[in-house]
Amino acid sequence: MPENTKIINQKERKRMEIKSLHTHVDIVTRAKGASVIAKAAYNARDKLQDEYYGKTHDYSKKTDLVFSKIFLPEHVPEEFSNREYLWNEVEKIEESKNSQLARNLLFELPRELNEQERIKLISEFIEENFTSETNIKYIRRWYSFYIKGLQGVAEIENNDRNSKGLQPVAQFDERVINHIKQIPWGHNQRIINKCKTIDEAIYYVDKTIENGWSRNVLVHQIESGLYGREGKSITNFEKRLPALQSDLARQTLKDPYNFDFLTIREGYDERELQKELVDKISDFLLELGEGFAYIGKGYHININGDDFYIDLLFYNLKLHSYIVIELKAEKFKPEHLGQLNFYVTAVNRELKTDRDNATIGLLICKDKNDVVCEYSLEQISQPIGISKYEITKLLEAEYKSSLPSIEEIEKKIKEIDTDN
């Protein structure tokens, strides 16, 4: 429960270790011998009695405090407006030796604001993000979501306004606590709104931390069903790659790939599919996942005087491998693998260095029979995965043709520039 918003002076600001430009967050943890009463007394420049440790913390003689207030949600008992009572109650309810008792937030506020404007800014921030009725409901929903999955206890009643608080946070599975505390509250809200299970929620928490997803990207990945698609490609990696690389490579691929970001007509062919993917390369890279770097389309390789052109060539920084992607705007056929197997071999011979791991092939087709894919991969010498793609929104041909081409748009821009 946030309180004691402190506006610090310039001298103290320089001493702080700031993790980002504007905010520093640290956790008051009993395992480190920290006292939440001592922290509250220091922040508020107050004198408080610590019942847990039997100590008195007195910072009342310091004179640099500008503003101090305890922000409470509605329906919280009035006695919690007493700072000493509030934080001693926190010490009582958190019984574990490893309890995380509080979050301490330090903000660097804009110098352009005067004192009253700073107080107003930080007060509104706290009320909107921590103590509003809507946010309290989200906190209860968040707690109920995780506690039901981890401990099987009854759901907290939303209308229970007489409750003095939630159950001790220390009772949570430590795995969950260590992860969810690392992502913004807005991300947590989206996750509990859209995920059905704890495992799915933790998956997206981990992915957010790993990839630094924005809120919009997180929502996109959840709505695209990434949790159910990652690692589902049909592959021969177990037989063709070392164990560690095999596991990582398998998790890198998806099935199916979601190509709904494309604007493509009905009856498209492979060349048009390739062009659309390259035109939307940022979206395509997001769909491929972390670590993919685009090298080129129709990538030219000359082998002893013969020319060959790879549909799409990428490099994956996590795998330290070239990734050869072949596109098929039709259902998978066993003969598709022969060409891809050749391209993977060619990249290994012509591009791969001693610092690179084995090149991987990925065939992305319109549809596939999983059993046929497995049989077809049995005798393939190179590591290859087979996935299908999905496009749920296709433009009708006449509508597609009514849209201007990139060339037409560029021509129009040049005409405008000439006129000016």
pLDDT digits (tens, 9 = 90+) for 263-309: 888 888 899 999 999 999 999 999 999 899 999 999 999 999 999 99
What's the pLDDT at 174?
Answer: 61
What's the pLDDT at 331?
Answer: 95
Asked whether the predicted pLDDT for residue 12 surpasses 60, the reply is: no
Q: What is the CATH number of domain 10-131?
A: 3.30.930.30
| Sequence-distant (≥ 6) Cβ neighbours of residue 68 within 8 angstroms | 3, 4, 5, 6, 43, 44, 45, 46
User: For residue 339, which of 369, 358, 361 has the smallest C-alpha distance?
Assistant: 361
Return the higher-pLDDT residue of 184 and 109.
184
What's the pLDDT at 4?
Answer: 41
Handedness of CA 85, 88, 92, 98 (dihedral sign): positive
**72 DSSP assignment:** -
pLDDT tens digit sequence for 208-247: 998 888 888 899 899 889 999 998 999 999 999 998 899 9
Other residues' Cβ atoms within 10 Å of the Cβ of residue 387:
22
* Whole-angstrom distance, CA of residue 67 vs CA of residue 5: 7
Out of 108-117, 132-141, 399-408, give the one with best mean pLDDT: 108-117
Instruction: Choose the CATH number for 255-400 among 3.40.640.10, 3.40.50.970, 3.30.200.190, 3.40.1350.10.
Output: 3.40.1350.10
pLDDT tens digit sequence for 184-208: 888 988 998 899 888 899 899 989 9
Return the higher-pLDDT residue of 178 and 170.
178
As annotated, the residues of the chain forming the CATH 3.40.1350.10 domain(s) are: 255-400
User: Which of the four pLDDT bands, split at 50, 70 and 90, describes residue 412?
Assistant: low
The pair of three-digit structure tokens given for residue 120, joined into one six-digit string: 């107003």
What's the pLDDT at 171?
Answer: 45
Asked whether the predicted pLDDT for residue 68 surpasses 80, the reply is: yes
Average pLDDT over residues 165-175: 49
What's the pLDDT at 417?
Answer: 54
As annotated, the residues of the chain forming the CATH 3.30.930.30 domain(s) are: 10-131
User: Which of the four pLDDT bands, split at 50, 70 and 90, describes residue 332?
Assistant: very high
Contact (CB, 8 A) for 25 and 19: yes
Mean pLDDT for the chain overall: 82
What's the pLDDT at 155?
Answer: 43
Contact (CB, 8 A) for 201 and 228: no
User: For residue 23, which of 110, 127, 88 has the smallest C-alpha distance?
Assistant: 110
What's the pLDDT at 406?
Answer: 54
* Whole-angstrom distance, CA of residue 234 vs CA of residue 328: 16
Return the higher-pLDDT residue of 267 and 324.
324
